[in-house]
Amino acid sequence: MALDAAGGGPRLRSPKIVIIGAGMTGIASHIRLREAGIPVENITILEKADRVGGTWRDNTYPGVACDVPSHHYAFSFEPYAWSHQCAEGAEIQGYMEMVSAKYGVTDNVRFGEAVTACRYDGAGRWLVETDQGGRFEADFVLSATGVLHHPNVPKIDGLECFAGAMWHSAEWRNDVDLEGKRIGVIGNGSTAHQFIPHLINAGHETTVFMRTPQWVFPNPRLAYSETMKRRWREKPERMRFWKGVGKWFMEQFFVKATIGRPFQNWVLNRIVRNHLRLAVKDRALRAKLTPDYGVGCKRMILDSTFYPAIQKPNAHLETTAIERIEPGGVRLTDGRLIALDVLILATGFQNFSFMRPMDLVGADGLSIDEAWAEGRYDCYNSVHLPGFPNFFLMLGPTTPVGNNSVIAMTETQLGYIEQIIDLWRRGEADAVDVRPEAMDAYRAFVKKGFDGTVWVSGCQSWYLDGDGMPAIWPYDWPDFVKLMAAPKREELALTTHRPAETAQAATSDA
Ligand code: NAP
């Protein structure tokens, strides 16, 4: 290892890094890498849109909000005087833009550049290409493209024939005047639960096409007072208590309840079942809204607005299956046509798209489509794709931990990734991959965690891969933190391609 010019400590190599995406994860990654001592000129952050923010920039539907307590859904290094116990989307977008500007991320983002290809050269380096003709060489790539990003357009006969306005919830049409329109909504997940009440409460005739009912945890979304917010701004340390409360609620209650800890699970069951019973008086409607699968099998919805709204006279809940879409509306399997002017698809996302459609090719010409063939989405320790050395898939399969804050997950992953990059910086490896036996062991370890859990009890959810195995973390939050506390060198394949002194000079923009 080389010593620096003053003869002091070891001189660390400085990698070139490309971050793909400037949403929450991309912003956090840029900040963390710079704090780790990587010069800003070595970090390229590519964003296909014209603003930072990711999901909070894209989702503008009425009522968009986060269902994780706001102080917990915030970067650990930047507390914020939130307006509500669960913040709304525009406020979170403002926060993301503020943090990104304050920490010097925004000025370094290359906006309007979508990554089209990302290819490994076989010797520790990646070539990243964009649709603007950009070509960047990198020692590491952090794919921060988000999980639920590409809209899932349902395969329903005749969908393209619909004569009225139609859009997906993630591509909300704020330009369409809904006054006097008959609106249909397909889907009733977390997203639909947030915007449907806004449509109904605004007086629009709204029909909800529900395939499967959902369990719903009450979420009053309390507003914080002006005094509280002023006191938080005066002294940000005062927010620690509130962050602690949100963290405790998610980690000690929600995560434990969904992994099946008896007490928390019992409480969760009592709360959601009583919520439905107390909120929906009509027995027939309540029966329609009662799921036949275990609480927590699908990702829990936290909301207190849908049940009151769906009982209003201008709200209609359709549980008969959809036969096809016709120009004038939705034809049901019992022959009825529900006439509509507007059709909104709240049908979720292609949950395993991640970085795609980019052309991602790892070692030995292995493409991501080949690596993830047959619906098995291997991802070791939630960030490594075996066969794709020095490439990190942020929030990759096996990341989601209950309904916990994805910001906490991202920060935990970054602590791990920083240690892998340190191996490179110290010249101990030029390429870091996963040993096949380690991937096998990790897959088996995660699979074992699902035994007897609610997730494999038979419901359909976006958690499931092609084998019907959830691509989430089946254990407790502290277990995830422990897993990611330090890389296990014996499970990694470390390769050296270059003498330590030449590595820095060899990396530059192509
Ligand atoms: P989702 O939970 O995947 O729900 C999709 C809905 O569309 C389901 O009701 C599904 O029915 C229905 N659907 C899909 N294809 C259909 C078809 N062909 N015919 C009829 N119905 C169909 O999607 P989402 O509501 O957008 O939420 C996705 C995730 O985004 C959430 O779980 C959450 O992680 C995240 N999210 C978070 C927040 C937050 O506050 N943090 C807010 C919104 C979303 P089935 O149930 O029968 O499949």
Q: Are 472 and 147 in contact (CB under 8 A)?
A: no
Angle between helices 406-425 and 24-35 (to 10 degrees): 40
* Burial of 306 per CB tally in 10 Å (0-12, 13-18, 19+): buried
* Burial of 260 per CB tally in 10 Å (0-12, 13-18, 19+): middle
Of all helices (H) and strands (E), which one includes residue 200? helix 190-201
For residues 434 and 500, which has the higher predicted lDDT (pLDDT)?
434
How far, in Å, is the centroid of ligand 1 from the Cα of 190? 6
Cα–Cα distance measured from residue 261 to residue 65, given in angstroms and rounded to the nearest whole number: 28
How far, in Å, is the centroid of ligand 1 from the Cα of 59? 14
Give CA angle at 119 (118, 123), nearest 5°: 135
pLDDT at 1 over 60: no
Q: For residue 460, what pLDDT band results from cuts at 50, 70 and 90?
A: confident
pLDDT at 39 over 80: yes
Across residues 141-154, what is the average pLDDT?
Answer: 95
Q: Give the pLDDT confidence score for residue 374 in this predicted structure.
A: 81
User: Structure tokens of 145?
Assistant: 């493209």
How far, in Å, is the centroid of ligand 1 from the Cα of 435? 35
- Mutation pick for ligand 1 pocket among 67, 70, 86, 148 (CB with most ligand atoms within 8 Å): 148
Question: How confident is the model over 324-352, as pLDDT tens digits?
Answer: 999 999 999 999 999 999 999 999 999 88
Give the mean pLDDT of the chain: 94
**Alpha-carbon torsion 193, 296, 319, 305, what sign?**
negative
Q: For residue 11, what pLDDT band results from cuts at 50, 70 and 90?
A: low
Q: What percent of the chain has pLDDT over 90?
A: 87
Range from 156-165, 257-266, 402-411 that averages highest in pLDDT: 156-165
Cα–Cα distance measured from residue 27 to residue 411, given in angstroms and rounded to the nearest whole number: 11
Measuring CA to CA, which residue among 308, 333, 126, 102 is closest to residue 209?
333
Question: How confident is the model over 364-385, as pLDDT tens digits?
Answer: 999 999 999 988 899 999 999 9
Q: Who contacts 291 (Cβ-Cβ below 8 Å, separation ≥6)?
A: 212, 213, 214, 215, 297, 459
**Alpha-carbon torsion 324, 460, 341, 319, what sign?**
positive
Cα–Cα distance measured from residue 133 to residue 129, given in angstroms and rounded to the nearest whole number: 7
Range from 279-288, 397-406, 451-460 that averages highest in pLDDT: 279-288
pLDDT at 509 over 90: no
Q: Give the pLDDT confidence score for residue 375 in this predicted structure.
A: 81
Q: Give the pLDDT confidence score for residue 7 in this predicted structure.
A: 41
Residue with tokens 């769906």: 310
Q: Give the pLDDT confidence score for residue 452 in this predicted structure.
A: 85
Q: For residue 498, what pLDDT band results from cuts at 50, 70 and 90?
A: confident
Q: Give the pLDDT confidence score for residue 462 in this predicted structure.
A: 87
Q: What percent of the chain has pLDDT over 70?
A: 95
pLDDT at 5 over 60: no
Largest Cα separation within the chain, whole Å, is 83
What residues are in contact with ligand 1 under a 6 Å CB criterion? 65-68, 148, 154, 156, 186-192, 194, 211-212, 299, 322, 346-348, 460, 462
**Residue 336 identity:** R
Across residues 35-50, what is the average pLDDT?
Answer: 97
Atom of ligand 1 nearest to the CA of 170: 26
> Which residue's CA is the nearest one to ligand 1's atom 41?
66
How far, in Å, is the centroid of ligand 1 from the Cα of 212? 10
> Which residue's CA is the nearest one to ligand 1's atom 35?
190
Angle between helices 24-35 and 89-102 (to 10 degrees): 20
Question: How confident is the model over 93-114, as pLDDT tens digits?
Answer: 999 999 999 999 999 999 999 9
Cα–Cα distance measured from residue 126 to residue 140, given in angstroms and rounded to the nearest whole number: 7
Q: For residue 499, what pLDDT band results from cuts at 50, 70 and 90?
A: low
Q: Give the pLDDT confidence score for residue 503 in this predicted structure.
A: 47
pTM of the model: 0.93
Q: For residue 10, what pLDDT band results from cuts at 50, 70 and 90?
A: low
Across residues 445-457, what is the average pLDDT?
Answer: 91
pLDDT at 4 over 80: no
Measuring CA to CA, which residue among 415, 398, 401, 422 is closest to residue 489?
422
